[in-house]
Structure 1
Amino acid sequence: MSPPQKWTLLLALYFSQGLPFGFFTQALPVLLREDGVSLSRIGLSGLLFLPWALKWLWAPWVDAHGLRKHWIIPLQLATILTAVALAAVDGSPEQKLFWLKIAIVLCALFAATQDVPSDALAVHLLQPGERGLGNAVQVGGYRLGMVLGGGALMIVLDQLGWAAAFLAMAAFLGLSLWPVLRFPEQRLLPPLERRAPGANPLPAIWARLRLPGMAALLCWLVAYKFGDSMASAMVKPYLVDAGWSKTEIGLWAGIAGSGGGLLGALLGGLAADRLGRRRALLYCGLAQTAAVALYALHAYGPGGEWLLKSAVTLEHVLGGMATVALFTLMMDASDPQHAGSDYTLQACAIVIATGLAGWVGGLLGDALGYGALFALATALSGAGCGLLLWALARRRVPTRLVAQMRS
């Protein structure tokens, strides 16, 4: 399979996840804050995305049964049908918000399950030398989906209404299925090479977790993203409280911000391939921390509207760089024979940490205000970067990762 074909497939796979996730994560905090909901309760709304944190329970089973595209296609069709069903909802804002929450849980379940075979395909298709750019394409596709979902569809929601937004979502998801339908998985990935037969989820995950250094690696991954996630979860309420409309949030946080994330994904991929994993994680982690610090600076008074707009854009650019560098490391740590399970285990640890960070951020925001919240998030982001780099230098990570990593 030629590299351009790989990039097209990966772009489509992760675009289809970023589109609904981008819309839901942008729209829900905004709608809740406009309704007067507290920051701590908004932080708890991350529980609606719980399937992303629990997918490790069924990942080994998905990893062991059927062609991967035969999982991806029906799951994406289910997401499309959910979007169409939401477009048909008519009623009061409270009723729409209720059905939106139900749809978020369903779409999170479909997308989280779809992510397992998608990640496994990526691990198998990408050679070690392609993983930096490959992860840039994955994150870039995801960010492109967030540009449309969290940006364009937010503007459509504000200007054209509920039904138009969800019908547009369904149409974009349908178009992104085409590369998956054309992918000749049976020819490129023979069954015996793809996966071993049968897997009992809990023992399989426990076996992966007991690998030397794996549990420690999960802790370092969580530390690297916790501070950034704590700040990011409260950005949308902060923008609402700053007087931004849904159209402004869609334009700056959705289109400009997530569009900047595409650039960040490319830069992060190039850094991982050309600088090596450790230096890429260091430089990108420090850049991520600097982006969070801009919110603290704005919250404490200096600067005005343009500082906030710069912070929103740079958060996505610099955070995208750090995300790609981290995902490349996670792929290096994944055994190709257990690709879906290994990568899913690491991704779930980050998702759980992201949800916890959002809740903690909401509590701190309610108790201490935005300034203290963003300042603490900055400190935690910098400390987490240092912890991961220390662990890599001391080889407190899986043996497979030590062998593959280059300084």
Structure 2
Amino acid sequence: MLFGNSIRFRDFGSYPSALEKGIPYGLQSRFLPLVLRSRGLSLTTLGFYKLLYVPWLFKSFYAPLVDTRGTKRLWLIASLTGLLSVTLALSVSTEGISESSSHRSPSSLTLTPLAICLLLYNFFAATQDIAVDGIALLVLTSKEIAAGNTVQVVGYKLGGVIGGGLLTTLASFVSIHQLFAAIAGVYFTGVILCSTSGVISKSASQNYTVTQKCTSVGENSLDSKASVSKKDDKDDGEKSYWHLLRNALVNSPGSCYLIILLLIYKLGEQGAMNMLPLLLFDRGASLAKIGLWNGMVGQISSLAGSAAGYKFLSNNCSSASALVRLMNIRALLQIPLIIIAVDSSGSLSPFSAFYLGALCMNVTLFFSGAITTVVFTLMMHCTRSESSVRTQATHYTVLSTAELLGKLIFGVVAASFTDWVGYGVANIAFFLLSLLPIYFIRSHRRCFAFEPTL
């Protein structure tokens, strides 16, 4: 077995949810940028479209609702239903950028409905993310975190393959609104599966048990100490959230340093990987060709790396040591991309440039996938160590928001920066940024004391 005896079949119960969680990522990071670029939109405009990820940045503010109101199962089904509805709306709003409109100028494209749909899309996807992570934290034991988290990351990456590479490849043969209609079918299936999943039902009962215990403690306290005002009960969620946020940012060295790492660990890689497909497109590569190598093969490489990340964690070394080794390799793989980017005179043939770029991209994505698995496992250990059961989803959401914040802000800046200085200088900057997290981990290795002893 891939994960040995440390992971049970029940850990695969959340796999469909993780897959559906990855579809919005692939769609917005791989598919739509290439489609809109082929319609003439500038890199700067594409960069500003990343601002539509803003619901992910604010999800930590409503994560306490998911923690304390209802069950994770209900939140998951509600978010999937929302994704289904918005995907159907996207199938209508994207008719304006279909193949039949490819002759239009960028200014003539009506993109406001698309932007509104994507904003709602991200809101429901962020809510789904909170619910899925909360279910994983409730169901997995400490020994199963690494393997179970690997399953989640692999499912997420497979969703990215569907939403990114598969859609990009099929866009040359099928209209865009029909592709979105097919994705809506995936979400409909997800609603059915989540409604009948035994693992998710178990998480709902565990969530209920935790709430009942908290209520029981409160009742005993009432009997022994007199009465507590209803207003205080009403404010418990808000107070616990701000207390949790303050602990994560100030009072907890582990969470604080992990948040800093999450803000910087993907900066250089994200810049290089997001700009490379656009660079290859500007150098003459076709949309279908880029979709195959970047969206399909590239995401499969990332998926394989995510699965291999579990093995890196099984080699009797700490997560910090594994991260340093993986990040060193990732940084070295960006050097050939600099050579391609600075070769504006065409010393490399288009064939050589494309396949050298595709090779480096796929190997980079493999090691990037392994890095993601190690980092997200570290996040789960931190949440288990530094938060109570009732606030685990909120604490984990604070960490994942920091992880997204670093990528999102730099994603907007990277596109405009590349538009300004060109691909060559931009890729040199991306390489230097890839060295930053290596230095940070080596300088603060002792700050990750929350990680269990191997």
CA deviation digits over 1:72-128, x for unaligned, max 9? 011111111111122234753355633222221111000111111211111222223
Name the SS of the counterpart of 1:311 in structure 2. Answer: helix
Aligned to 2:42: 38
Letter in 2 for 1:287: I
Distance 2:280 2:395 in 1: 37
Candidates 219, 225, 229, aligned match of 2:260: 219
The answer to whether the aligner puts 1:115 opposite 2:129 as a matched pair is yes
Task: Compute the TM-score of the two structures, normalised by the length of structure 1.
Answer: 0.90
Number of equivalent positions: 400
Name the SS of the counterpart of 1:158 in structure 2. Answer: coil
Post-superposition offset of 1:136: 1.6
Candidates 355, 369, 372, aligned match of 1:306: 355
Letter in 2 for 1:34: S
Name the SS of the counterpart of 2:111 in structure 1. Answer: helix
Given that 1:18 and 1:141 are in contact with CA atoms closer than 8 Å, whether structure 2 keeps it comes out as yes
Given that 1:269 and 1:325 are in contact with CA atoms closer than 8 Å, whether structure 2 keeps it comes out as yes
The answer to whether the aligner puts 1:390 opposite 2:443 as a matched pair is yes
Q: What does 1:176-191 align with in structure 2 at a 5 Å threshold?
A: 176-181=190-195, 182=197, 183-185=200-202, 189-191=206-208
Change (3 A) 1:86 1:224: closer
Given that 1:265 and 1:320 are in contact with CA atoms closer than 8 Å, whether structure 2 keeps it comes out as yes
The answer to whether the aligner puts 1:135 opposite 2:135 as a matched pair is no
Name the SS of the counterpart of 1:159 in structure 2. Answer: coil
Provide the identity percentage: 25
RMSD over aligned Cα atoms: 2.4
Aligned to 1:404: 451
Post-superposition offset of 1:55: 0.8
Stretch of structure 1 that moved more, 247-256 or 203-212: 203-212
Stretch of structure 1 that moved more, 259-268 or 182-191: 182-191
Aligned to 2:413: 360
Candidates 162, 165, 175, aligned match of 1:161: 175
Post-superposition offset of 1:190: 5.0
The answer to whether the aligner puts 1:253 opposite 2:302 as a matched pair is no
Distance 2:306 2:40 in 1: 35
Post-superposition offset of 1:351: 1.1
Candidates 50, 72, 79, aligned match of 2:54: 50
Distance 1:177 1:332 in 2: 29
Given that 1:43 and 1:359 are in contact with CA atoms closer than 8 Å, whether structure 2 keeps it comes out as yes
Aligned to 2:70: 66
Distance 1:152 1:306 in 2: 20
Distance 1:65 1:24 in 2: 30
Aligned to 2:222: none
Change (3 A) 1:256 1:125: same
Aligned to 2:246: 206
Distance 1:186 1:216 in 2: 30
Distance 1:305 1:282 in 2: 29
Q: What does 1:71-90 align with in structure 2 at a 5 Å threshold?
A: 71-89=75-93
The answer to whether the aligner puts 1:266 opposite 2:313 as a matched pair is no
Change (3 A) 1:193 1:390: farther
Post-superposition offset of 1:188: 5.4
Q: Which has the larger radius of gyration?
A: 2
Change (3 A) 1:100 1:315: farther
Stretch of structure 1 that moved more, 21-30 or 345-354: 21-30
Q: Which runs of 5+ in 2 are unaligned?
A: 1-5, 98-107, 216-235
Distance 1:100 1:191 in 2: 39
Distance 2:26 2:95 in 1: 24
Distance 1:187 1:221 in 2: 30
Distance 2:183 2:204 in 1: 32
Given that 1:224 and 1:381 are in contact with CA atoms closer than 8 Å, whether structure 2 keeps it comes out as yes
Stretch of structure 1 that moved more, 215-224 or 35-44: 35-44
Name the SS of the counterpart of 2:71 in structure 1. Answer: coil
Distance 1:27 1:152 in 2: 9
Task: Compute the TM-score of the two structures, normalised by the length of structure 2.
Answer: 0.81
Candidates 312, 333, 340, aligned match of 2:382: 333
Aligned to 2:324: 282
Post-superposition offset of 1:255: 0.8
Q: Which runs of 5+ in 1 are unaligned?
A: 396-400
Letter in 2 for 1:288: R
Change (3 A) 1:187 1:227: closer
Distance 1:56 1:290 in 2: 35
Stretch of structure 1 that moved more, 93-102 or 76-85: 93-102
Distance 2:33 2:277 in 1: 6
